[in-house]
């Protein structure tokens, strides 16, 4: 079974708008990560937040983590057409293994 569940499954926005996607997980974690996958490509690491952190920023990305609710959100501000991709959350336990959610497919139209 998958650890993470993402919401929404698909998101369509216009350039310049913000995109928000959520992830819920089931068990205790060491960290939570977000990855991007462009069509037909491998996954690229975007940002990691540790279990003792509540918020983290990286460029146009903002991640929050609420361990009491076992949930995380990823915000992409001022989206661009190049942000069109699938976004996955993944939880880690510190042994090089990740459990992934099913992903959110984001389409940004010019």
By CB under 8 A, residue 95 contacts another protein: yes
**Phi and psi at residue 83, to the nearest 5°:** -80, -5
Binding another protein (rule: CB under 8 A), the pick from 18, 28, 30, 109 is 30
The footprint of another protein on residues 34-63 (CB under 8 A) is 35, 40-45, 48
DSSP state of 76: E
Binding another protein (rule: CB under 8 A), the pick from 24, 56, 93, 107 is 93
Task: State the nearest-atom distance from the C-beta of 1 to another protein, in Å.
Answer: 8
Number of H helices, E strands in the chain: 0, 11
Distances from the Cα of 48 to the Cαs of 33, 55, 72, 86, 90, in angstroms?
A: 4, 10, 11, 17, 9
Task: Provide the binding-site residues for another protein, judged by CB under 8 A.
Answer: 2, 4, 30-31, 33, 35, 40-45, 48, 88, 90, 92-103
């Amino acid at each position: 079974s998958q650890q993470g569940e993402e919401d929404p499954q698909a998101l369509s926005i216009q350039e310049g708008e913000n995109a928000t996607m959520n992830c819920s997980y089931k068990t205790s974690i060491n960290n939570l990560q977000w990855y991007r996958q462009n069509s037909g490509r491998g996954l690229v690491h975007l940002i990691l937040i540790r279990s003792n952190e509540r918020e983290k920023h990286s460029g146009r990305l903002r991640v929050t983590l609420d361990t009491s609710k076992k949930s995380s959100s990823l915000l992409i501000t001022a989206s661009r057409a190049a942000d069109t991709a699938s976004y996955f959350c993944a939880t880690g336990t510190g042994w090089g293994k990740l459990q992934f959610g099913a992903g959110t497919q984001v389409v940004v139209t010019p």
